[in-house]
Amino acid sequence: MAKKKQGAETKKSEVASSARARKKRQIFAEGHKRKFLVVVDETPECESALAFAASRALRTAGQLALLYVIEPGVDFQWLGVEDVAREEGHTKAKAVFRLFGRKLKTMGFEEIVPEEIVREGMKAEEITKLIEEDEDIGVLVLGASKDPSGPGPLVTNLAGGRLSGTFLVPITVVPGHLTTEEILALA
């Protein structure tokens, strides 16, 4: 009996989260701008995603949002060590944002001031949560790796995984072999 009740509660929770996930995007409502979300880290494919998203944001009068996710490391036994690791993650996020700000300027996007978002958790989960929470996000832009082993874990998980057919917004995957000039010509 308890298992049946627990199963029903789980199903209710899934339906509720599904309904929450499908709430209407506010992208074109007055006072809103469509955001192009780019997940940034130290991988080279992020620059491709940045170039495409910045160009689309500029051409469509949208906005650029950069997300850096601090992923959990080893479980720490002492709270002080965990706090130090968290602070290092936030410091690294700031450095990555500065780097991508310089890259935007180098590409000719001086007028774009991206929204900088830092989350803690697993990347795929935090991306999904952010898109659920921010109704202005209209497109997730990911860069595919040039590596012959595959396009990268985020592209594989989000664009090619079980979520791909039910994802909340379109996912644009920018091929990693394209030059910045080629990407800007396509965007």
More confident residue, 69 or 16: 69
| Mean pLDDT for the stretch of residues 105-109 | 95
**86 confidence band (pLDDT: 50, 70, 90):** confident
Tokens of 177: 């072999």
Using one digit for the tens of pLDDT, what is the confidence trace for 136-162? 999 999 999 988 887 888 888 887 777
More confident residue, 163 or 137: 137
- Phi/psi for 118 (5° steps) reads -120, 130
Q: How far is CA 56 from CA 30, 39, 117, in A?
A: 20, 16, 19
Using one digit for the tens of pLDDT, what is the confidence trace for 36-84? 999 999 888 999 999 999 999 999 999 999 999 998 865 555 556 677 7
- Which ranges of 22-166 does DSSP label H, i.e. alpha helix? 45-59, 79-106, 123-133, 153-154
**CB-based burial label for 126 (10 Å; 0-12, 13-18, 19+):** buried
